[in-house]
Chain A
Amino acid sequence: MSQLRYLAGVSTLEFFPELCAGCRTCLDVCPHAVFESDQESAGKKVRVGDRDACMECGACRHNCPTGAITVKIGVGCAQAVFSGNAETCC
């Protein structure tokens, strides 16, 4: 069910292409294929292809070696919004 999509235009994901080293790690860790690239080989910068699919899990930011990605990391869970504490979710 890859067509399940959440609210558009809310993700805090930001990508700074000038910092991207083209290591492609973000392509490997993103569970929703937010990033895309034309080439199979390393060294080519990626780009954000589907920002609205971002769930702000932070896998890309955490593993980006050059700090080219920023995102306000959080758990998409109503209990966390009510309690202000992500621990109540999992």
Chain B
Amino acid sequence: MVGEQASPVGAVPRVTSTLGWRDRLGTLLVRCGPGRMQYLVEPGLYALHNPGPDSPVLVSANYKLSFDHLRRRLGGIDAWILVLDTGGINVWCAAGAGSFGSTNLVRQIQESEIPRLVNHRRLIVPQLAAPGVNSRLVTQNSGFQVLFGPVEAADLPAYLVAGMEATPAMRRKNFPLSQRAVLIPVEVFQNLKWLLPLLLSLGLLSWLGGETWGTLASMGALALLLAVLAGQVLTPLLLPWLPGRAFALKGMVAGLLVTLPLLASAHASPGLALPGSDFLAWPLLIGGLASFLAMDFTGASTYTSLSGVTKEVRMAGPWQVAAGVCGLLLLLVGRLPVWGG
């Protein structure tokens, strides 16, 4: 907020397209997970720079990341930003859930007195809000024409210059490397609640477990980290280059790739005295877990359908469980003679 803008509907909080250090720090934290569900802006009307009665009205969600992302792309542009109460959820997800919807939009238009604010009767709504916003319904109930703006806020300046016309390319949701990469921290941090206790237990076991079981526990901890690396870091990064379309398959391949150096170094260390069955057990365990974790990334991706994910879960799930069970059994069986002796 940088002051206020006088308008026919009273003073409106003013924002600029420049993000301050607090906005940047907030973005960084939210991208890692903490406070992600409570990163809010107050719903209502905002003035971007110095808008007037002819300035465009852009609609956004009250997730601060969405709001900041929008205004940051609008350098040098005067506009009104109408923020809907989506419960702190981003535009696309809120549209799917219905909170970025026609009713909410019409109510916010009335509450913020947009008809008294501007001379025109047009709203620019993000295209990705279309699963929730019915343009005809909004027009009928508010008198405002809904123009679906481009998918990416970065295309808004070009869209405005073109007289609010989007090119076909602006209408497509892609999933480039940069967009995949920023999702990785949240995916990884969300694991900590099960990963940390498991790693601590394995650490304790490797300390107390003696030569055979201690070594096994250390390798287990390493295997867990490798599976997370494969399923939740490498799979998003290498998504277009990993084989197949199913995320489960991509994750399994990434899992096997990270297992290779582990097995090679184990093979090169005869002192470890690993049972031969381990060389089958570790690929099964790491590949299976990485495959499962990669499937989780379907929810963060921009192009998967529920029908597709349902099919994938049904087909890959049994294999992932089987790989896990077989892997664990092989680890035990390989060590039974030691137990007996």
Task: Please give the residue numbers on chain A whose beta carbons come within 8 Å of chain B beta carbons, in ascending order.
Answer: 1-8, 10-12, 25, 27-33, 53-60, 62-63, 65, 72-82, 86-87, 89-90
Please state if A82 and B313 are interface contacts (CB–CB under 8 Å). yes
Closest residue of chain A to B247 (Cβ to Cβ) is: A78
The verdict on A76 contacting B239 (CB below 8 Å), with A4-B175, A31-B171 known, is no
Closest residue of chain A to B246 (Cβ to Cβ) is: A7
Please state if A4 and B303 are interface contacts (CB–CB under 8 Å). yes
Q: Which residues of A contact B92 (CB under 8 A)?
A: 90
Please state if A59 and B303 are interface contacts (CB–CB under 8 Å). no
Out of B133, B175, B312, which one reaches A7, CB within 8 Å?
B312
Interface residue SS majority, chain A:
loop
0/1 per residue, B69-106, Cβ < 8 Å to A?
00000000000000000000110111111000000000
Please state if B93 and A55 are interface contacts (CB–CB under 8 Å). no
Please state if B174 and A76 are interface contacts (CB–CB under 8 Å). no
Q: Which residues of A contact B162 (CB under 8 A)?
A: none
Closest residue of chain B to A28 (Cβ to Cβ) is: B148
- Which among A11, A25, A28, A72 has the greatest number of chain B C-beta atoms within 10 A? A28
Q: Which residues of B contact A31 (CB under 8 A)?
A: 127-128, 151, 171-173, 302
Please state if B134 and A2 are interface contacts (CB–CB under 8 Å). no
Please state if B296 and A78 are interface contacts (CB–CB under 8 Å). yes
Please state if A30 and B136 are interface contacts (CB–CB under 8 Å). no
B301 within 8 A of A: yes
Q: Which residues of B contact A8 (CB under 8 A)?
A: 245
Q: Which residues of A contact B148 (CB under 8 A)?
A: 28-29
Output the least CB separation between A88 and chain B (Å).
8
Q: How far is the CA of A53 from the CA of B305 in the complex (A)?
A: 9
Q: Which residues of A contact B172 (CB under 8 A)?
A: 2, 31-33
B131 within 8 A of A: yes
Q: Which residues of B contact A55 (CB under 8 A)?
A: 302-305
Please state if B303 and A80 are interface contacts (CB–CB under 8 Å). no
Q: How far is the CA of A85 from the CA of B328 in the complex (A)?
A: 31
Q: How far is the CA of A86 from the CA of B96 in the complex (A)?
A: 9
Q: Which residues of B contact A33 (CB under 8 A)?
A: 168, 171-172
Please state if B304 and A76 are interface contacts (CB–CB under 8 Å). yes
Q: Which residues of A contact B130 (CB under 8 A)?
A: 28-29, 57, 59-60, 62-63
Please state if B307 and A78 are interface contacts (CB–CB under 8 Å). no
Q: How far is the CA of A5 from the CA of B92 in the complex (A)?
A: 19
Q: Which residues of B contact A29 (CB under 8 A)?
A: 127, 130, 148
B309 within 8 A of A: yes
Please state if B240 and A6 are interface contacts (CB–CB under 8 Å). no
Q: Which residues of B contact A89 (CB under 8 A)?
A: 93, 299
